[in-house]
Amino acid sequence: MQGSKPIQKTVPFSLSHIEELEKEYPTPFHVYDEEAIRAGSRRLYKAFSWVPTTDGKEGGFKNYFAVKALPNPYILRLLHEEGMGADCSSLPELLLSDAVGIKGEEIMFTSNDTPAEEFVQAKKLGAIINLDDITHLDFLEKIAGIPDLICFRYNPGDDYSHGNPIIGNPSEAKYGLTHDQILKAYQLAQQKGATRFGLHAMIVSNQRDEKILADAARLLFELAVEIHEKTKIKVEFINLGGGIGIPYSPVDHQVDIEDYARRVHEHYNEIIVKNGLSPIRIVMESGRAVTGPYGYLVSRVRHVAKKHRDYVGLDACMANLMRPAFYGAYHHITVLGKEDRPLDHVYDVTGSLCENNDKFAVQRVLPEISPGDLMVIHETGAHGSAMGFNYNGKLRSAEFLMQKGGRFKLIRRAETASDYFATLDFEGSDFAGLAKKTVSSPSKAGNRKQ
């Protein structure tokens, strides 16, 4: 591997940009490229511009951004400006979406094992409620009432064989209604007063094969025809789910959004139009493909150690990016200022967590690394900061939005020791004195201007 020259990725900022930012904000932190996010969003909408509205005109497509991918109000607001809604799965996500101006049926509420208060809040906000189980229909009726518009999530089981390690095979997944259940569910919902209906399935994840993605749409189109034939119910929209993958590795295939949209259009004409069901709106809940490629985790090298292997120790850890440890996922790494150096060293790139799987890369070919180098880990714009945690007392890092002209806007400050202790009850206990000394005195980094 030594001396090889793998394909490299570029970053939208320079070493001098980050060094200037570091004068006020210490690493690690995430950076999101606003202009790239907007451009990608517009490309998605243009590709699906053929989708009809309920009156048959074009413009019926909508992406409900999966809030779980990057739950930040600045991100949600800019995506809403680009025409997107919000796909929510919890009470905080509902409240966050509503707070930034995403209202009513611009919110899709898809959850599982759902508590009563979340159904109540979703109904109060006028969100589209997407039920994950047939028994939830009676539960919803009892605690909140049946809305006029209701959606059901379908699980095709063994009828669909394109599962993957992230989402699993449908037949083994906890999500969605079976074929027999979903036919009964529409009839029961209609009996309970619902007059408008949607259909949904989320059966692929990080899928980069356009044919497989389109096959999921075909399956739902065929089901919509069957539902109409057997129940006389016509769905108003079909939610294709998310699942559009991104090329984490430089050699990965990048989804051709236009080709994917073309294939879906062909299936739509062959199945929906042919059976007289058009117009049916098409929506999806893409998150990873919308923000994932345009996020970067920036981290300083603390130590370089030579043991049985050579190790690069960063000031970031899996609390800042869990995917490599959790999924064994590949994330590309750029060393700022050394982009043109020969790739002639092999390292494990690690964090400081007390877990041996706290590694961003294993036996990765990189230029020679020295303490103090700045590393950029790519594709952290989805399921990066969002999956952060505080195990080992690790604090979550700041997030920046890189705006036009190379301006960096702080959109989440870094956590401090005070934040970490904020939910603990020291008052009236033997630890009150310790609390005053420790909890109320954040570190110098925590006191930096935010």
| Active site positions, annotated | 354
Distance separating alpha carbons of residues 416 and 264, to the nearest angstrom = 47
Question: How many residues would you count in the chain?
Answer: 450
Distance separating alpha carbons of residues 388 and 28, to the nearest angstrom = 13
In eight-state DSSP terms, residue 273 is: I
Residue 109 has a CB neighbour count (10 Å cut-off) of 27
Q: Tokens for 50, please give them.
A: 């053929």
Distance separating alpha carbons of residues 79 and 41, to the nearest angstrom = 8
CA 82 vs. chain centroid, Å, equals: 17
Residue 344 has a CB neighbour count (10 Å cut-off) of 14
In angstroms, the Cα distances linking 390 to 138, 152, 294, 346, 410 are 38, 35, 25, 30, 21
In angstroms, the Cα distances linking 436 to 92, 316, 329, 425, 447 are 30, 28, 42, 12, 16
Label residue 431 exposed, middle or buried (CB < 10 Å: 0-12, 13-18, 19+): middle
Side-chain half-sphere exposure of 226, counting CA atoms within 13 A:
12
Distance separating alpha carbons of residues 270 and 258, to the nearest angstrom = 18
Name the residue among 257, 235, 215, 366 with its Cα closest to residue 301: 366
Helix (H, G, I), strand (E, B) or coil at 229: helix
DSSP per residue over 236-256, as a string?
SEEE----B----STTSPPP-
Distance separating alpha carbons of residues 105 and 127, to the nearest angstrom = 5
Distance separating alpha carbons of residues 343 and 39, to the nearest angstrom = 32
Is the bond into 279 cis (omega within 30 degrees of 0)? yes
Distance separating alpha carbons of residues 398 and 415, to the nearest angstrom = 7
Helix (H, G, I), strand (E, B) or coil at 83: coil
Amino acid at 378: H
